[in-house]
């Protein structure tokens, strides 16, 4: 889905420059920089690619290539909650496919999309390391195991209320 470039606020740009100032001399600094920016802003705006490239003496293509290579980095703002459901083998063995289908239906939202009200971004994960307590999910980095559709709906209601 194409998204119009969102103009960066002065505050966001300042945050990016602080990250660059702090990190740019580290060996192999690009990934830590991208993590810090995403942690700070929720995503990596296309606008900052040239700033990062200039700070690290890289081409914009190299920076763009790294951002788009890794599943973790996003270039558009996520919903207020990011929900990841594990789809790997151990969770599949305990009904993860059905859980994922339930989540898509309950949220009226497909994988790697955000609900219409902007409250939840639904993503697939490939292993959260809770393979003896499957199926597992993560909500904003908090893990939940032995998931059932009923528990899922309750957690979603709680998350949406808080957001």
Partner 1 sequence: MSISIYVPRDSAALAVGADRVAKAVAAQAQNRHIDVRLVRNSSRGMFWLEPLLEISTPEGRVAFGPVEPEDIVDIFDQGLGQATQHPLYLGLTAEIPFLKKQERLTFARMGITDPLSLTDYEDHEGFEGLQRALAMSGQDIIQQVLDSGLRGRGGAAFPAGIKWKTVAATPAKQRYIVCNADEGDSGTFSDRMTMEGDPFMLIEGMTIAGIATGATVGYIYVRSEYPHAIAVLNEAIQIAEAAGYLGSNILNSGKSFSLIVRKAAGSYVCGEETALLESLEGKRGIVRAKPPLPAIEGLFGLPTVVNNVITLASVPIILARGAVFYKNFGVGRSTGTLPFQLAGNIKFGGLVEKAFGLTLRELVFDFGGGSASGRPIKAIQSGGPLGTYIPESQWDLPLDYETYIGIGGTLGHGGMVVHDDTADMSKLARYAMEFCALESCGKCTPCRIGSTRGTEVIDKITSGKDREHQVVLLKDLCNTMTYGSLCAMGGMTPNPVLSALNHFPEDFGLTNAPAAA
Residues that bind partner 1 (CB under 8 A): 27-32, 34-35, 56, 62, 65-66, 69-73, 86, 88-94, 125-134, 136, 138, 141-146
SS (H, E, C) 94-145: CCHHHHHHHHHHHHCCCCCEECCCCCEEEEEECCCCCCCCCCCEEECCEEEC
**Which residue's CB is nearer to partner 1, number 118 or number 129?**
129
Nearer Cβ to partner 1 (9/59): 59
**56 neighbors 66 (Cβ within 8 angstroms):** no
In the complex, least distance from residue 10 CB atom to partner 1, rounded to whole angstroms: 27
Of the pair 121, 134, the CB lying nearest partner 1 is at 134
Work out how close the CB of 6 gets to partner 1 at its nearest, in angstroms, rounded to a whole number: 22
């Amino acid at each position: 889905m194409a998204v119009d470039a969102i103009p960066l606020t002065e505050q966001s740009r300042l945050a990016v420059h602080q990250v660059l100032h702090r990190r740019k001399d580290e060996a192999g600094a690009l990934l830590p920089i991208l993590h810090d920016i995403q942690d700070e802003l929720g995503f990596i705006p296309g606008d900052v690619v040239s700033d990062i490239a200039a700070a690290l003496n890289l081409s914009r293509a190299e920076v763009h290539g790294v951002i788009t290579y890794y599943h973790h980095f996003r270039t558009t703002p996520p919903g207020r909650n990011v929900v990841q459901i594990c789809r790997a083998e151990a969770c599949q063995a305990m009904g993860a496919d059905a859980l994922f289908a339930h989540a898509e239906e309950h949220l009226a939202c497909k994988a790697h999309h955000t609900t219409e009200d902007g409250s939840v971004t639904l993503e697939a994960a490939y292993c959260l390391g809770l393979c003896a307590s499957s199926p597992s999910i993560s909500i904003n980095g908090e893990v939940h195991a032995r998931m059932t559709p009923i528990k899922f709906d309750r957690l979603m209601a709680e998350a949406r209320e808080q957001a």
